[in-house]
Structure 1
Amino acid sequence: MPSSLPGLGTLDAVLDHYATSNPGAEIAVEGDRRLTYIETNQLVDRYCDWLEGKGVQQGDRVALLAAPGIDYLLLLMAASRLGAIYVGVNPRYSSDEMSHVLKVTEPKVLLHAEVPNEHDLAGRAHAAAGRVAVLSAPDVAAMPASAAARKSPAGRMDVAVIVFTSGSTGKPKGAALHHDGLIGAAIGQYDHLDGESRRYISNLPINHVGAIMNTTMGCLVGGGTLIFQAKFDPAGVLALIERERAQTWLQVPAMFTLAVNHPDFANRDLSSLRSICIGGGAVSAPTLAALRSIGAKIFVEYGQTEVMSSVAYSHDGDPDEVLLNTIGKFDPRFETRIADESGGICTIGETGEIQAHGTCVLRSYWGDEKATREAFTADGWLKTGDLAARRPDGNISLKGRLREMIKSGGYNVYPREVEAVIETHESVAEVVVFGAPDDIYGEAVRCAIECKPGVMVTAEVLRQHCAAALANYKIPKSFDIVPMLPRLNNGKVDRASVRSHVA
């Protein structure tokens, strides 16, 4: 852990620590707005007063529909300080997807803030909220100072955030992540990537564990500065790195590929960067080669929502072969194993499932006892669903996934969720959604469709049909209309054959 950081039990305690030890340090930059640690700490106390006035108490959920920015940072910290639970809502969600998140978590209030190029967020929030109170995120700076400094009543193992991730039913499940796990993962990242206070690019969606742990707490445990980009675009992030002298750049492979392929990449001064970390999927050789030209240290990391985001990293000096073909090595501070079907530990070169145990794993899937039970082995290890093998050099090579999860551009997409939407179109008889290799997104969502007898439908019609119910990253990049889907002897669609032949 950072040598200057004592054992702190809640997310907001990290903020409070640096507000005391380094109060004038810059914590956040959003456009022309800048905040120090001490200013932010005081604003969080005011936010707590306001939330209490709206009836928010310890254990309540508080949801936010917003982009990466200061509104997000303040609410995340205020929820922690009240002992409440933060729920991020992606502005790209459809009304149905928002409704699902709110139905599962039952927040006391849903707040919304302005998002660039997103219109009528308030209307969409009201349409999705049902009985949940919907309010604009307040101007905390205009509020009176809090009467006294606050301390969170939450314990280390209390739930801090609920992050939605797809599951075996096709409906996203709310992973309940606790303070201790998020702080521990953040310290692990700090030790691997930084080792000193750093200026971080922070542009991942606020409902994503990558935003909460990697590009927020991973920065703050070292007393660093969050440089917010509300919505990723390659030219914008390159300009932001140059202007703000960013030092740590952590994104998913698709974002890096779009950035290095942009004409501005060769013309921007990126020399301030000291660490680049690639997570959420495998990076391509051309993208890695372009990133090498910057001169920063480059890492890959591995994890998932259920393990607070990251439990494995490559190491400084690892060659390209390791970065391209492995996820590095498991961080020894976390309990991890590669196990066979009986729970035995796999030998070197033997493929098994990555499993995790202890404080690095989620508390539960919120409100879903059955899914929680099914996520663990009989001896209490979390089943990640990822198949891997340990190489003789100790690095871990991913082999595939037990589940059919698609990882596209850093987002998890579960085929069944997409299929359920496509199946509601009147022309569709059956559909198979699958992931196919893609140079930019790692995996692209694709589908094969068999129409009902005597009818046809175009890809554009199906794309518009999906857009009404799904976030755009879940919409298939291609719709392959086939005369008949291949079938097994029992009459079921042969999904493996679809993936191999249609792809």
Structure 2
Amino acid sequence: MPLPTPHPKTLDAFTSHYAAATPEAEAAVDGSLRLSYATLNLLIDFLCAWLDEKGIRRGDRVAIAAAPGIPYLMTLLAASRLGAIYVGVNPRYSESEIAHVLAVTKPAILLHAPVPREQDLASRLSRAAGDIPVLPVPTAEGLAGQVATHHSPAQPDDVAVIVFTSGSTGKPKGAALHHGGLIGAATGQHEHLDGEARRYISNLPINHVGAIMNNTMACVVGGGTLVFQPKFSPSEVMELIERERIQTWLQVPAMFTMVANHDDFGRRDLSSLRSICIGGGAVSAPTLARLRETGAEVFVEYGQTEVMSSLSYSDPGAPDEVLLNTIGRFDPRFETRIARADGTLCEEGEVGEIQARGDCVLRSYWGDDAATSEAFTAEGWLHTGDLAFLRPDGNVTIKGRLREMIKSGGYNVYPREVEVAIESHPAVAEVVVYGVADEVYGEAVHCALECKPGASVTGDELKAHCAGSLANYKIPKLFAVVPALPRLSNGKLDRAAVCNGELG
């Protein structure tokens, strides 16, 4: 079925469309609970009526702490239908982290739903919330009754969600993302990866743009089925793919690596997969080789919270060399460029900053005018902070972050280039390369890494391995082999923790 045209103006309106067009199509699976589009749409209206009774109005923030599941989905879409703004709270957050999110967004209500192994969630939320009402999301049974159909008063340029950045420098900031931008990004992903209604796994944290755009709205815009996994587990992901015949699988690299290295890989039937998309960083060549074994088309994508998650995708049929070394091509529907520090355009092969402008970028950092102003050039280009260059074939290669670039002995060292060389060693699972202050070189190149299960490697062995592909000044002075690298709550490597020496 083709996408609705013209596109609906708000996130929730796609559910209304498919409730009318394909009412019996399966919309969401959460354990034993299965909802059609017609039923999901009705429950959203019920929740809208309940929230309306609690005094929620257009522009109010509605916060929720929950696992990936139907309560999250209903809250996201009910907030949209009321013209309110969704704020996801990671249930793994500490009280101080929860309090920070609430202090910035000032929600009118804080909802919660059961989360595996988080028995004290409600009490933690209440202690952090102060005067904000803290209530459980009503169950489907509790929402039954007569209700009027709601129509969102929001417009495409209105803020739909506030997503907090990972906070690698300072406290996390709340990126205000609008309906039109999220819909445009979700439509782009649907057209690149799917082209039809697909069955998706949704298991990223509900405060993450990857959950909201990549693993929710990109499925919903095409009338697909969301299959929720409340807590990531490599073995359970494969079991879910097999049982629910998942077709599109988008995760962060660490998740793919853990699945590819699991003993069950190769034993489970993953033949239903049609598209695998690697987002949020690069995977190693061995992980990519295992993913290829599924027979699915493999893509890479690039983006960040501030650009609704995705600015580029690899082409269908892209070879391993492209998937391992590039982020694909910029999506032509978005305004993007690679620029020098003075704002002029870089030549082909010249390293500069990726910048974006227009409907694909955040409206503001919520409540932080100074950070918002600093994020943009005078011409309205968003500073992504990512360094990259355009290849002759039109694909783009990431070289690192502006703040991560290492100046060693007068040379620029791009961490990602060094990481790729180290990852090619057969014993290495994942690696972070970073700079450490050095009296002689200004900065010295260091790295921390974890090995594949059962494997081991020494620093001397890695130095010898890197010597074949890297200039001497790029080879790390120190290799720290650790049992497990620190990670953020969204599963990505916590580069800030590594750089601060927090290796356990």
Q: Does TM, scored on the shorter chain, surpass 0.5?
A: yes
Higher relative contact order (CA 8 A, sep 6+): 1
1:381 alignment counterpart: 381
Q: Following the alignment from structure 1 to structure 2, what is the Cα–Cα distance between the partners of residues 478 and 115?
A: 27
Please report how far the alpha carbon of residue 71 of structure 1 lies from its aligned counterpart in structure 2 after TM superposition: 0.3
Q: Following the alignment from structure 2 to structure 1, what is the Cα–Cα distance between the partners of residues 5 and 16?
A: 11
Q: Following the alignment from structure 1 to structure 2, what is the Cα–Cα distance between the partners of residues 156 and 479?
A: 37
Q: Following the alignment from structure 2 to structure 1, what is the Cα–Cα distance between the partners of residues 14 and 36?
A: 14
Superposed counterparts of 1:176-255, under 5 Å: 176-255=176-255
Please report how far the alpha carbon of residue 89 of structure 1 lies from its aligned counterpart in structure 2 after TM superposition: 0.4
Write the letter of the residue equivalent to 2:371. A
Query: Would the aligned equivalents of 1:49 and 1:146 in 2 still touch at CA under 8 Å?
Result: no
| Alignment coverage as a number of residue pairs | 437
Write the letter of the residue equivalent to 2:400. G
Aligned to 1:286, the other structure's residue is in SS state: helix
1:125 alignment counterpart: 125
Superposed counterparts of 1:200-349, under 5 Å: 200-349=200-349
Say whether 1:105 aligns with 2:105. Answer: yes
1:148 alignment counterpart: 148
Q: Following the alignment from structure 1 to structure 2, what is the Cα–Cα distance between the partners of residues 479 and 299?
A: 29
Q: Following the alignment from structure 2 to structure 1, what is the Cα–Cα distance between the partners of residues 208 and 447?
A: 21
Please report how far the alpha carbon of residue 139 of structure 1 lies from its aligned counterpart in structure 2 after TM superposition: 1.3
* Pair 1:475–1:339, CA change in 2 (3 A): closer
Q: What fraction of aligned residue pairs are identical, expressed as a percent?
A: 65
Aligned to 1:389, the other structure's residue is in SS state: strand
2:135 alignment counterpart: 135
Query: Would the aligned equivalents of 2:252 and 2:491 in 1 still touch at CA under 8 Å?
Result: no
Query: Would the aligned equivalents of 1:45 and 1:146 in 2 still touch at CA under 8 Å?
Result: no
Please report how far the alpha carbon of residue 479 of structure 1 lies from its aligned counterpart in structure 2 after TM superposition: 9.2
Query: Would the aligned equivalents of 2:353 and 2:385 in 1 still touch at CA under 8 Å?
Result: yes
* Pair 1:475–1:227, CA change in 2 (3 A): closer
Please report how far the alpha carbon of residue 98 of structure 1 lies from its aligned counterpart in structure 2 after TM superposition: 0.6
* Pair 1:59–1:130, CA change in 2 (3 A): same
Q: Following the alignment from structure 1 to structure 2, what is the Cα–Cα distance between the partners of residues 140 and 472?
A: 28
Query: Would the aligned equivalents of 1:67 and 1:231 in 2 still touch at CA under 8 Å?
Result: yes
1:460 alignment counterpart: none
The CA deviation string for residues 26-69 of structure 1, in whole angstroms up to 9 with x for no partner, is 00001111000010000000100100111111000000000000
Please report how far the alpha carbon of residue 146 of structure 1 lies from its aligned counterpart in structure 2 after TM superposition: 4.2
Write the letter of the residue equivalent to 2:48. C
Q: Following the alignment from structure 2 to structure 1, what is the Cα–Cα distance between the partners of residues 348 and 491?
A: 36
Q: Following the alignment from structure 1 to structure 2, what is the Cα–Cα distance between the partners of residues 181 and 63?
A: 21
Query: Would the aligned equivalents of 2:303 and 2:311 in 1 still touch at CA under 8 Å?
Result: yes
Q: Following the alignment from structure 1 to structure 2, what is the Cα–Cα distance between the partners of residues 345 and 366?
A: 30
* Pair 1:54–1:372, CA change in 2 (3 A): same
Superposed counterparts of 1:396-415, under 5 Å: 396-404=396-404
Query: Would the aligned equivalents of 1:94 and 1:471 in 2 still touch at CA under 8 Å?
Result: no
Q: Following the alignment from structure 2 to structure 1, what is the Cα–Cα distance between the partners of residues 148 and 496?
A: 57
* Pair 1:89–1:294, CA change in 2 (3 A): same
The CA deviation string for residues 328-350 of structure 1, in whole angstroms up to 9 with x for no partner, is 00000000000101111111000
1:94 alignment counterpart: 94
Aligned to 1:385, the other structure's residue is in SS state: strand
2:37 alignment counterpart: 37
Query: Would the aligned equivalents of 1:2 and 1:191 in 2 still touch at CA under 8 Å?
Result: no
Please report how far the alpha carbon of residue 118 of structure 1 lies from its aligned counterpart in structure 2 after TM superposition: 1.3
Please report how far the alpha carbon of residue 388 of structure 1 lies from its aligned counterpart in structure 2 after TM superposition: 0.3
The CA deviation string for residues 61-81 of structure 1, in whole angstroms up to 9 with x for no partner, is 000000000000000000000
Larger mean CA deviation between 229-238 and 141-150 belongs to 141-150
Please report how far the alpha carbon of residue 144 of structure 1 lies from its aligned counterpart in structure 2 after TM superposition: 3.5
Q: Following the alignment from structure 1 to structure 2, what is the Cα–Cα distance between the partners of residues 300 and 476?
A: 20
The CA deviation string for residues 200-224 of structure 1, in whole angstroms up to 9 with x for no partner, is 0110000000000000000011100
Aligned to 2:204, the other structure's residue is in SS state: coil
1:157 alignment counterpart: 157
Q: Following the alignment from structure 1 to structure 2, what is the Cα–Cα distance between the partners of residues 476 and 297?
A: 29
Q: Following the alignment from structure 1 to structure 2, what is the Cα–Cα distance between the partners of residues 242 and 302?
A: 27
1:369 alignment counterpart: 369
Please report how far the alpha carbon of residue 7 of structure 1 lies from its aligned counterpart in structure 2 after TM superposition: 1.8
Instruction: Could you tell me which runs of 5 or more consecutive residues in structure 2 were left unpaired when the two chains were aligned.
Output: 406-414, 420-431, 435-443, 453-483
The CA deviation string for residues 191-245 of structure 1, in whole angstroms up to 9 with x for no partner, is 1000011000110000000000000000011100000000000000000000000
Query: Would the aligned equivalents of 1:47 and 1:140 in 2 still touch at CA under 8 Å?
Result: no
* Pair 1:479–1:231, CA change in 2 (3 A): closer
Q: Following the alignment from structure 1 to structure 2, what is the Cα–Cα distance between the partners of residues 223 and 107?
A: 30
* Pair 1:363–1:401, CA change in 2 (3 A): same
Write the letter of the residue equivalent to 1:207. N
Query: Would the aligned equivalents of 1:99 and 1:129 in 2 still touch at CA under 8 Å?
Result: yes
Q: Following the alignment from structure 2 to structure 1, what is the Cα–Cα distance between the partners of residues 495 and 391?
A: 34
RMSD: 2.9
1:21 alignment counterpart: 21
The CA deviation string for residues 309-360 of structure 1, in whole angstroms up to 9 with x for no partner, is 0010001111000000000000000000001011111110001000000000
Q: Following the alignment from structure 2 to structure 1, what is the Cα–Cα distance between the partners of residues 225 and 199?
A: 5
Query: Would the aligned equivalents of 2:49 and 2:147 in 1 still touch at CA under 8 Å?
Result: no
Superposed counterparts of 1:57-76, under 5 Å: 57-76=57-76
Aligned to 1:27, the other structure's residue is in SS state: strand
Superposed counterparts of 1:392-471, under 5 Å: 392-404=392-404, 436=448
Please report how far the alpha carbon of residue 128 of structure 1 lies from its aligned counterpart in structure 2 after TM superposition: 1.1
* Pair 1:15–1:268, CA change in 2 (3 A): same
Write the letter of the residue equivalent to 1:209. V
Q: Following the alignment from structure 1 to structure 2, what is the Cα–Cα distance between the partners of residues 473 and 202?
A: 14
Query: Would the aligned equivalents of 1:42 and 1:146 in 2 still touch at CA under 8 Å?
Result: no
1:84 alignment counterpart: 84
